[in-house]
Amino acid sequence: MNHRYSERICSTQKSFIREILKVTADPEIISFAGGLPNPNLIDDEGIQKAAAALLKEDGKTALQYSTTEGHPPPLREWIAERYRTRYGLSVSADQILITNGSQQCLDLIGKVYLDTGDSVIVEDPPGYLGAIQSFSMFQPEFLSVPLNEEGPDLACLTNVLETSSAKFMYGIPNSQNPPPVSPTRRTGDVISRPSSVKTTCRLWRTMHMGSFSLTASQENRSVRIWKAKVF
């Protein structure tokens, strides 16, 4: 049978994450490739108790269809308050969207911003292969910026911005894997200031903080690298 699949699907490569997880299915293998947590650290008992409490208190509402932003509103307010108090970001509950993991979030970003042939700036090597996989569905052109010991190479980034009209830059402001790099405060400050990079394009920056809470105590590292949305 001749299936008439879309061009997008026909050009889709194998899932990086799926191939990695095939290896991790072997209990004899400890993989550092996928960022998988130690299963002994997963609080399954705590999750069971939280789920049981929610279902007992308001189970019918919790299991019903709800708004796009996510239910309940107190959860989004708690997340917004966490960003305000811990990271110094001005965020309201109305700006929080609950997604089913980072993959759904990245897919939504691609749908909103990317047309076929648009340019996306990524770090090299990319910190999260799942992001490349998600964005690839929208058939963009990836422009790579190499990493050094202080984060993205600023000279290379400046050159890419001056010679392209990228829609957005995707990066990880903490704990790259691989390599074990966290951008320094100096690099973050330079990227955060609009006047630091000569460009006429509006560039959205997408940050992905997979394990920020485990590394935020490092005084010389700063999430401020991605605080400004546009420059």
Q: What is the pLDDT of residues 27-47, one digit of tens each?
A: 788 777 767 778 888 999 999
Is the pTM for the entire model greater than 0.85? no
As a whole-number percent, the residues of the chain with pLDDT over 70 amount to 76
72 with 118, same domain: the answer is: no
Q: Is the peptide bond before 152 cis (omega within 30 degrees of 0)?
A: no
Please check whether residue 73 is in contact with residue 93, taking contact to mean a CB–CB distance below 8 angstroms. Answer: yes
Q: Which of 36-45, 131-140, 160-169, 177-186 has the lowest mean pLDDT?
A: 177-186
Does position 143 have pLDDT exceeding 70, yes or no? yes
H-only helix segments in the chain: 7-10, 16-24, 44-62, 73-87, 102-113, 129-136, 154-162, 185-192, 212-215
Same domain flag for 77 and 135: no
81 and 187 housed in the same domain: no
Q: Are residues 132 and 186 in the same domain?
A: yes
User: Which of 2-6, 36-40, 181-185, 226-230 is least confident?
Assistant: 226-230
Residue 178 lies in a domain: yes
The answer to whether residue 133 is domain-embedded is: yes
Residues 77 and 169 in one domain: no
Those residues with Cβ within 8 angstroms of residue 32's Cβ, 6 or more apart along the chain or in another chain: 177
pLDDT bin (cut points 50, 70, 90) of residue 148 is: confident
The answer as to whether 116 is a domain residue is yes
Residues 128, 71: one domain?
A: no
Greater model confidence, 205 or 129: 129
In this predicted structure, the answer to whether residue 70 has a pLDDT above a threshold of 80 is no
Q: Please compute Rg for the chain using Cα positions.
A: 20
Residues 6+ positions from 26 with CB-CB distance below 8 Å: none
Is residue 80 located within the same domain as residue 151? no
Sorting pLDDT into bands at 50, 70 and 90, what band is 22?
A: confident
Greatest alpha-carbon pair distance for the chain in Å reads 60
Average pLDDT for residues 166-194, to the nearest whole number? 72
Residue 217 lies in a domain: yes
Q: What is the pLDDT of residue 145?
A: 92
- The distance in angstroms from the start CA to the end CA of the chain is 50
58 in a structural domain: no
Same domain, 92 and 144: no
| Mean of pLDDT over the chain | 79
- Predicted confidence (pLDDT) at residue 223 exceeds the cutoff of 80: no
Higher pLDDT, 209 or 189: 189
On whether both 76 and 179 belong to a single domain, the answer is no
pLDDT at 225 over 50: no
4 is a domain residue? no
Do 82 and 165 lie in one domain? The reply is no
Asked if residue 74 is part of any domain, the answer here is yes
Residue 49 falls within a domain, yes or no?
Answer: no
Using 50, 70 and 90 to split pLDDT, how confident is the model at 222? very low
**How many domains is the chain built from?**
2
Domain encompassing residue 73: 64-98
